[in-house]
Amino acid sequence: MDETRASRTALSTSLMRAVHTRLDRPALIDDAWGDRLVPQSEREALLKRMIGGLDPEAPKRVDPLGSPEAALDAMLRAHPMYGTVVVRTRYAEDALAAAVARGSRQYVIIGAGMDSFALRQPAFARGVEVFEIDHPASQGLKRRQLHECGVPVPPTLHFVPADLSRESLGTALGRTAFRGDQPAFFSWLGVTVYLTREANLETLRAVAGCAAPTSELVFTYLDEHELDPDRGSDDVQKVRATVATVGEPWVSGFDPSRLAEDLRGVGLVLVEDLDGEGLLARYCAGRTGGLSPASGVHIARARVGASPA
């Protein structure tokens, strides 16, 4: 990642959530904030990159759509990771709702990007303190966009600019009002694939170390076998090549058969691990329109200091 600018993948996933909210029925999530938070210049650059990454016939298919906005919507919906982005958001917020019902009042979003939860804070989460941890460049763009849109920062939202390759999660949260003696819910979506295995294990260890027992974490990961060009699916290989061209290459994954062991080693207990088929069955069964999570991407839920429920 270019440390001087916001993550391009964070911007595109924010737009995917907004496109789904506007166009897909029934909608699995209600998050149109990407339409406001992603600058027009970034949308134009994204459309240009997406057209350039398609086959030579792409412009002929895009032109009849009538406008750059419609073309971008269509191309985002056709992206191999579109369904995964939508479903992982729904899964995380379902798990958060359950955690709040059990008493959690702290929500930590690691690698928050353009996440909008604190802005739309649904009824079940009234009063939940939200801590957004992200690289200063990405967080700076988000704060500028909120200011330009005239959107006040909610009193429950705490921005935590941090480069977790240079400081620990615990140190970053230590600068805030986060209570390590109170249960919390953590989400870490769409990030682990960009980090080394060692960096991922260190962050998982940090969650276990700074969170109270019964706290939970939801995170996504790539089946490490997908990183093998001879074994990975075509869709995953296409996305992997695309993100590498914008300076955000996929670096590592986990072996699903060893995930529980890996988590135990850092102080976490695996509660649930769903692959693309499991997510499809839970959230997309019977749908039309092609909303389908990528097969090689998993979403896992883990708990601190407790056995699976």
Going from N- to C-terminal start, the domains of the chain cover: 8-77, 82-304
Alpha-carbon distance of 309 to 303, in angstroms, equals 9
Fill in the DSSP letter of residue 223: B
**Structure confidence at residue 295 (pLDDT):** 86
Is the confidence at residue 237, as pLDDT, over 80? no
Q: Give the helix/strand (H/E) hosting 86.
A: helix 82-101
Handedness of CA 242, 244, 247, 249 (dihedral sign): positive
Average pLDDT for residues 248-265, to the nearest whole number? 95
Q: What is the mean pLDDT of the chain?
A: 90
Place 67 in a pLDDT band, splitting at 50, 70 and 90.
confident
**pLDDT tens, position by position, 102-154:** 999 999 999 999 999 999 999 999 999 999 999 999 999 999 999 999 999 99
In this model, does residue 307 exceed pLDDT 60? no
275, 236 Cβ separation under 8 angstroms: no
Strand ordering across the sheet containing 297-304: 157-161, 129-134, 106-110, 185-188, 216-222, 297-304, 268-274
CA atoms within 13 A on the CB side of 133: 26
First to last CA, the chain: 37
Give the chain's length: 309
CATH assignment of 82-304? Answer: 3.40.50.150
Higher pLDDT, 60 or 32: 32
Cα gap 77→96, rounded to integer Å: 26
* Residue type, position 81, single letter: M
The CA-based dihedral angle spanning residues 201, 270, 127, 89, taken in that order and rounded to the nearest 10 degrees: 80
Rounded Cα distance between 267 and 204, Å, is 8
Residues with Cβ within 8 Å of residue 64, at least 6 apart in sequence: none
pLDDT at 4: 45
- Are the CB atoms for 142 and 136 separated by under 8 Å? no
Quickly tell me which residue has 């027009």 as its tokens. 40
